[in-house]
Amino acid sequence: MIEPNPNISAMAAYALPDIGAPGEAPLVILAQNEHPFPPSDNIRAAVNAALSQGNLYPDADWRELRAAIAAVHHLRQDQILCGSGSMELMLALVTAYLSAQDRILVTEYGYLFMRTLAQLVGAAIDSAAEKAYRVDIDSLLGAVRADTKLVFVVNPGNPSGSVIHNDEIRRLRDGLPDQVILLVDEAYAEFVDSDFHDPLFDLVDRGNTCVTRTFSKIYGLAGMRVGWGLFPAHIGDNMRKLLNPNNVSLLSQVAACAAMRDQTRAGEAARYIAGQRVGLSVALSNLGLSVIPSQTNFILVDFNTRNRAVSAFEYLRGCAIVVRPMGGYGLPSCLRITIGLERQMQRTVDALGQWKAQQNE
């Protein structure tokens, strides 16, 4: 047999989410934190118009897109990199900086993709305990070792949905050695109101901190694959050696530009989703379920035992509703439910109400 690299063969196959069999009645998919609404007319018009240039390579420098991002967030364009999803940027950062001699520090319930990246480069991974599903800065600082090279924090968290204040992230940065890279994944930042938006972008000027965001969540372009991030110039230069030089397709760049320029729509989406999230959280709490407080487009529901979570998952699946089991995150008693349309949320509440009524408790 032809053998792959040993670290690759040791990796588990990517677990595809359940999206139903062909011919099966359409499912309500609440498993991938997707946006409930399709792209706006503005986005569609821009994409349609750009199609006529489909014979040309896209702008390898993402100039218009970087300008649109910089204008909204008051950033320096030369610190912005765009990726085929923010996952591509994380991959480039880890490939460029981590090796089998290094350690990556993550939080207990942090994004699993970082574990995949650690395996890819053979780096060891350490995990810092969270407190009540929240990132705990002291436990992170306590888990830093001499060979820790990257600390990865997701804020707001996935799958917890919880937020820690950016002052806490600043305290983390201040407590880390200068030669440790801090990567803050802010895929859900735009869902948080309050004073979260005292943004972290200025930390990037210190030369050792990176922040990633995405068009997949608030902007509803998961299918277009566009992420972006802010990176110190010396780190960005090395990452660019690894990115596919035409990594973001022409149509994706155009769609992302139109989405970024329409902050009104993003704000409306955030308000709609927050309203549905509150409604779903209250309804499930009224059913006696424990809902972890979330500021994102999903909620984590703790069913107390693995068996109850499996039973609820299967009941929902029988009602053509697909949510996300959390065993892979070390949370086998939990399910993660993406916030969708009002009628989808109502169906979910009804189904879980029926499930609850069936339990002999």
Instruction: By CB under 6 A, name the binding residues for ligand PLP.
Output: 33, 85-87, 111, 154, 158, 185, 187, 214, 216-217, 222, 227
Distance in angstroms (rounded) separating the CA atoms of residues 73 and 190: 11
Rounded to whole angstroms, what are the CA distances from 205 to 69, 72, 85?
A: 17, 19, 23
Picking from 170, 196, 192, the residue whose alpha carbon sits closest to that of residue 182 is 170
Distance in angstroms (rounded) separating the CA atoms of residues 129 and 188: 21
Which pair of tokens denotes residue 156? 């707001």
Backbone angles phi and psi of 193, in degrees to 5: -90, -125
DSSP 130-176: PBTTB--HHHHHHT--TTEEEEEEESS-TTT-----HHHHHHHHHHS
Rank residues 106 and 301 by Cβ distance to ligand PLP and give the closer one.
Answer: 106
How many C-beta neighbours within 10 Å does residue 261 have?
17
Instruction: Name the minimum Å distance from CB 298 to ligand PLP.
Output: 9
- Between β-strands 148-154 and 124-128, what pairing exists: parallel, antiparallel or unpaired? unpaired
Rank residues 158 and 295 by Cβ distance to ligand PLP and give the closer one.
Answer: 158
Instruction: Name the minimum Å distance from CB 18 to ligand PLP.
Output: 18
Instruction: Name the minimum Å distance from CB 315 to ligand PLP.
Output: 25
Which pair of tokens denotes residue 22? 């062909």
* 156 preceded by a cis bond (ω within 30 of 0): yes
How many C-beta neighbours within 10 Å does residue 59 have?
15
Rank residues 216 and 247 by Cβ distance to ligand PLP and give the closer one.
Answer: 216
Rank residues 35 and 173 by Cβ distance to ligand PLP and give the closer one.
Answer: 35
Instruction: Name the minimum Å distance from CB 58 to ligand PLP.
Output: 17
Rank residues 58 and 159 by Cβ distance to ligand PLP and give the closer one.
Answer: 159
Distance in angstroms (rounded) separating the CA atoms of residues 52 and 355: 51
Instruction: Name the minimum Å distance from CB 186 to ligand PLP.
Output: 8
How many C-beta neighbours within 10 Å does residue 159 have?
26
Instruction: Name the minimum Å distance from CB 319 to ligand PLP.
Output: 25
Q: Rounded to 10 degrees, what is the CA torsion of 354, 17, 342, 351?
A: 0
Rounded to whole angstroms, what are the CA distances from 209 to 64, 135, 230, 296, 334?
A: 25, 18, 9, 23, 32
Rank residues 79 and 214 by Cβ distance to ligand PLP and give the closer one.
Answer: 214
Contact present, 218 and 37 (Cβ < 8 Å): no
Rank residues 62 and 111 by Cβ distance to ligand PLP and give the closer one.
Answer: 111
Instruction: Name the minimum Å distance from CB 154 to ligand PLP.
Output: 5
Residue facing ligand PLP at closest CB distance: 85
Instruction: Name the minimum Å distance from CB 89 to ligand PLP.
Output: 8
Instruction: Name the minimum Å distance from CB 305 to ligand PLP.
Output: 26
Rank residues 199 and 353 by Cβ distance to ligand PLP and give the closer one.
Answer: 199
Rank residues 217 and 265 by Cβ distance to ligand PLP and give the closer one.
Answer: 217
